[in-house]
């Protein structure tokens, strides 16, 4: 599984199209307090319920607050057979907010 930092994800976003998805696996409450523009929320504990849908994307970037839940969710999705998962394991939403980058 490929792993990248939140800084790298930030750099990739301007070139992303509809075939890419940013999947935020924090809780819905955390997501509602601020998220990366265009990101989709699915709690890490139920991420396997959307595995079939995620197969339709070229790349799914999985992130959370710090990286731990993203790692667990990414591993679970790979166990479900997905090969398009990139784990944002360094930094997460905590760093995104620290940097003052755009949030919804």
Residue 64 located in a structural domain: yes
Residue 104 located in a structural domain: no
Domain, as residue range, for 74: 2-99
CA atoms within 13 A on the CB side of 21: 18
Q: Please, are residues 24 and 63 in contact by the beta-carbon 8 Å criterion?
A: yes
Match 């607050």 to its residue by tokens. 65
Spatial neighbors of 46 by CB under 8 A, at least 6 apart, are none
Q: Please, are residues 10 and 92 in contact by the beta-carbon 8 Å criterion?
A: no
Token pair of 24 as six digits? 């935020």
CATH code, 39: 3.40.250.10
Helix (H) or strand (E) holding 17: none
* Structural domain count of the chain: 1
pTM above 0.85, yes or no: yes
pLDDT in tens, 29-48: 999 999 999 999 999 999 99
pLDDT in tens, 14-29: 999 999 999 999 999 9
């Amino acid at each position: 599984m490929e792993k990248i930092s939140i800084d790298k994800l930030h750099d990739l976003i301007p070139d992303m199209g509809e075939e890419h998805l940013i999947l935020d696996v924090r809780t819905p409450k955390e997501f509602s307090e601020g998220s990366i523009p265009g990101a989709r929320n699915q709690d890490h504990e139920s991420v396997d319920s959307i595995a079939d849908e995620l197969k339709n994307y070229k790349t799914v970037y999985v992130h959370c607050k710090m990286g731990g839940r993203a790692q667990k969710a990414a591993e679970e999705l790979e166990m479900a057979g997905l090969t398009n998962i990139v784990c944002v394991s360094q930094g997460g939403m905590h760093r995104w907010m620290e940097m003052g980058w755009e949030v919804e």
